[in-house]
Amino acid sequence: MHLLVAVIEDPEDVESILDRFYESDITGATVLDGKGMGHMIAHRYSIFARFADLTGSVEEDVHNTVLFTVLGDDALLERAIQIVQDVVGDLSAPNTGLVFTVGLDRVIGLAQPVREN
């Protein structure tokens, strides 16, 4: 089993990702609002403040979205990662997002058990 975490920079991409997850039988995910460290402390450190000035961002309106889901199938995990990349674009490009996975030994409390192949 795997935990997939995707930090999506453009909140408008999230619904497309979730729709495509559902169409690919990924029927459970949790969505949280997030804010990057640089935007949280920009007012205290000049290097971050200069970055905020360049991007025209204001601390209150800058956020990202964090999606996470538990997947038991390696093929489904790869499909989920591909969906995120298809929607947001090349993850190595700035202002797109970040994806990482964590191996899970046990998950307790899911409405439907995730079966590991």
In tens, the pLDDT along 98-109 reads 999 999 998 888
Is 66:32 a contact under the CB 8 Å cutoff?
Answer: yes
Band of the pLDDT at 71, cuts 50, 70, 90?
A: very high
For residue 59, pLDDT over 50 is answered with no
The domain of 26 spans: 2-36+63-103
Domain assignment present for 91: yes
Burial of 114 (0-12, 13-18, 19+ CB in 10 A): middle
At 68, which CATH number? 3.30.70.120
Per residue in 14-38, pLDDT (tens digit) is 999 999 999 999 989 999 998 877 6
114 part of a folded domain: no
Give the mean pLDDT of 48-68.
Answer: 63
**Domain for residue 71, yes or no?**
yes
Residue 49 lies in a domain: no
Residue 25 falls inside a structural domain? yes
Tell me, yes or no, whether 52 lies in a domain. Answer: no
Count of domains in the chain?
Answer: 1
